[in-house]
Amino acid sequence: MRSRIERITKIGQIPVDIRKEHKGFCEWDLVSSRHDHPVILQILIDGRETKGVEIEGQLPTLVYLSREKRPQYHHHFKAGAMNALIRVSSKISNGWIILTVDCDMYSNNSESVRDAVCFFMDEKKGNEIAYVQYPQWFNNMTRNDLYGNSFEVIQKVELATMDANGGPLYIGSGCFHRRDTLCGLKYSKECRVEWKKEDHIKKEKQNATELQEICKIFASSTFEENTQWGNEMGVKYGFPGEDIVTGLSIQCRGWKSIYFNPEKKGFLGVAPTTLLQALIQQKRWSEANFQLLLSKYCPLIYGHGRIPLKLQMSFTPYMLWAPNCLPTLYYVIVPTLFFLRGIPLFPKISSLWVIPFAYVIIATNAYSLVEFLYCGGTLQGWWNDQRMWMFKRTTSYFFAFFETILRQLGFSKLGFVVTAKVADEEVHERYLREVMEFGTPSSPMFTIFTTLAMLNLFSFVWGLIRMVIDVQINVLEALALQLVLCGLIVVINLPVYQGLFFREDSGKMATSVAYKSIMLALLACSIVLY
């Protein structure tokens, strides 16, 4: 398949042999653009011909669809693709259950379908369930999870508690939906499905060729004009996190959801293997969550009286990921600069007022560590996770926060960034050895966290030198907490310093980023000192 794609891209047209083999390309004379092409629809296996009789070694109906895209019509990214698939499948199979899986994920447990259907078919509560969400696990994780991609605590603790509070959010992949709930059906006690009946499968008289021509209409770029698709029907439009908004709207129509985390993982995917990929992915997720907070679908407003208050509150921590950049930036900049100048911000170490600060520092980190280890992580993995939270809050969340504000003010348009997860052999080898990757093209994100790392290093070294030269007990007591905070930031940034000064491989920090970060840090220190 890869060689075929590269060949077609190179020559700019569909070769005769591929055109004959795949009838879906019969209308393609030239490969114009991935953003400007007609519908490709082909029923590869027509399961309707078997009349429900299972044939060993053969799948049921298997259809390939690539919807029409035209520059003058907004295609709405992933949400638009899913809505086109919902419409086309309703004509060909019209199955009650729809499974959504990202293109980089695959089924790891053959019993996942049976387990999900058991929830829908439950005699007491099955008629209330709209979707069954499986966790999003990855098959390429290192032992200590270098980039904090596993989300062990979120998936084993937080989503499980949402399940107890009324149902988890829809995370976009590994989710089984009832078709009618995706199409906008409101819950009522009469919404019961007679699972034993087979009359819900449409018995079409058309052959595969006729059916393909009919279904192409549903995948055209103009079909949704003057309809409720993307609003009251299907997956929601206008949000980078269309999955969360869609799941919330389904819950607000009275439906419940289930979070199911079996011992054998149901679905596995591919996690980012470089630092920049991980930060870009986090930017997209945090931007989507923050946009939800500022939209009419904010759970605290839209969900009022429709879903339980405890479920509304469960959404809040994720919606505040992006604004979390502000207090984090304060704690990695302001105390450091004041420490550099010798100005205390916290109580003296001998004062009783230091107890609340010490309690918060010790209790939160101890609880975080115990929780992480309980979920199957390692001590080094927890430390890597703390580093990544700092990187994400000072870069990904920072850009997500201000881009969302600009979008709300009309200065920016909605975009959709796909996280690239393909790496060359050297990058992949360093990832397996858990060596942080900085060798990508320079990014403003790298400049920010590298500047903060250098700022804290300069302040820490200068503060220690001053304390050694001018030893005063009062000064040591007053600046002790700032010294600890600055020192922790320096220690957590050790991989950054290695990438800047000690590494010689292609994964080291770019020279331009190193120069800019050092100059910016020195400039900030000079302004504070003089």
CATH code (residue 195): 3.90.550.10
Asked whether residue 518 carries a pLDDT value surpassing 60, the answer given is yes
Give the neighbor-by-neighbor strand order of the sheet with 97-100: 97-100, 175-178, 129-133, 256-259
**What integer pLDDT is reported at residue 46 of this predicted model?**
80
Q: Do 165 and 87 sit in the same domain of this protein?
A: yes
- On the CB side of 17, how many CA atoms lie within 13 Å of its CA? 3
Residue 394 parent element (H or E): none
Confidence of residue 297 (pLDDT cuts 50, 70, 90): very high
Confidence of residue 241 (pLDDT cuts 50, 70, 90): confident
pLDDT tens-digit profile of 72-92?
Answer: 888 888 899 999 999 999 988
**What integer pLDDT is reported at residue 64 of this predicted model?**
86
Which residue is it, tokens 């990187």? 391
CA dihedral 22, 26, 28, 34 (to 10 degrees): -40
Q: Do 98 and 237 sit in the same domain of this protein?
A: yes
Whole-number Å distance between alpha carbons of 90 and 143: 43
- In this prediction, what percent of the chain has a pLDDT beyond 70? 89
Report the range of poorest mean pLDDT among 20-34, 302-316, 475-489, 495-509.
Answer: 20-34
Confidence of residue 26 (pLDDT cuts 50, 70, 90): low
**What integer pLDDT is reported at residue 190 of this predicted model?**
74
* Domain endpoint, select from 255, 271, 287: 271
Report the range of poorest mean pLDDT among 21-30, 84-93, 363-372, 428-437.
Answer: 21-30
CA 423 to chain centre: 19
With respect to residue 377, please indicate whether it lies within any of the assigned structural domains.
no
Q: Do 207 and 344 sit in the same domain of this protein?
A: no
Asked whether residue 56 carries a pLDDT value surpassing 70, the answer given is no
pLDDT tens-digit profile of 457-471?
Answer: 999 998 888 877 776
With respect to residue 356, please indicate whether it lies within any of the assigned structural domains.
no
**What integer pLDDT is reported at residue 123 of this predicted model?**
86
Q: Do 267 and 334 sit in the same domain of this protein?
A: no
Asked whether residue 421 carries a pLDDT value surpassing 70, the answer given is no
- CA distances for 173 relative to 72, 120, 268, 455, angstroms: 29, 18, 10, 40
pTM of the model: 0.86
For the chain, the average pLDDT equals 86
Q: Do 214 and 331 sit in the same domain of this protein?
A: no
With respect to residue 13, please indicate whether it lies within any of the assigned structural domains.
no
With respect to residue 54, please indicate whether it lies within any of the assigned structural domains.
no
Q: Do 206 and 129 sit in the same domain of this protein?
A: yes
Q: Do 260 and 402 sit in the same domain of this protein?
A: no
Confidence of residue 71 (pLDDT cuts 50, 70, 90): confident
**What integer pLDDT is reported at residue 428 of this predicted model?**
87
With respect to residue 309, please indicate whether it lies within any of the assigned structural domains.
no
Q: Do 238 and 341 sit in the same domain of this protein?
A: no
H helical segments located in 134-274: 152-153, 159-164, 179-182, 208-215, 242-252
* Residue 210, amino acid: E
**What integer pLDDT is reported at residue 199 of this predicted model?**
47
Whole-number Å distance between alpha carbons of 307 and 122: 22
Q: Find out whether 311 and 167 touch, Cβ atoms under 8 Å.
A: yes
In the structure encoding, which two tokens stand for residue 232, read together?
């009251």
- On the CB side of 383, how many CA atoms lie within 13 Å of its CA? 13
* Domain endpoint, select from 271, 301, 336: 271
Mean pLDDT of 201-215: 71
Mean pLDDT of 308-330: 94
Q: Find out whether 27 and 13 touch, Cβ atoms under 8 Å.
A: no
Q: Find out whether 132 and 171 touch, Cβ atoms under 8 Å.
A: no
Q: Do 333 and 480 sit in the same domain of this protein?
A: yes
Whole-number Å distance between alpha carbons of 150 and 160: 16
With respect to residue 296, please indicate whether it lies within any of the assigned structural domains.
no
Total of domains in the chain: 2
Can you tell me whether residue 133 is helix, strand or coil? Answer: strand
Q: Do 229 and 329 sit in the same domain of this protein?
A: no
Q: Find out whether 317 and 289 touch, Cβ atoms under 8 Å.
A: no
* Domain endpoint, select from 238, 254, 271: 271
Q: Do 345 and 474 sit in the same domain of this protein?
A: yes
Confidence of residue 200 (pLDDT cuts 50, 70, 90): very low
Whole domain around residue 418: which residue ranges? 322-350+393-529
Confidence of residue 269 (pLDDT cuts 50, 70, 90): very high
Q: Find out whether 338 and 344 touch, Cβ atoms under 8 Å.
A: yes
Can you tell me whether residue 414 is helix, strand or coil? Answer: coil
With respect to residue 63, please indicate whether it lies within any of the assigned structural domains.
no
Whole-number Å distance between alpha carbons of 513 and 337: 22
* Residue 428, amino acid: H
With respect to residue 195, please indicate whether it lies within any of the assigned structural domains.
yes
Per-residue DSSP letter, 96: S
Q: Do 191 and 331 sit in the same domain of this protein?
A: no
Mean pLDDT of 176-189: 90
End-to-end CA distance of the chain, in Å?
A: 63
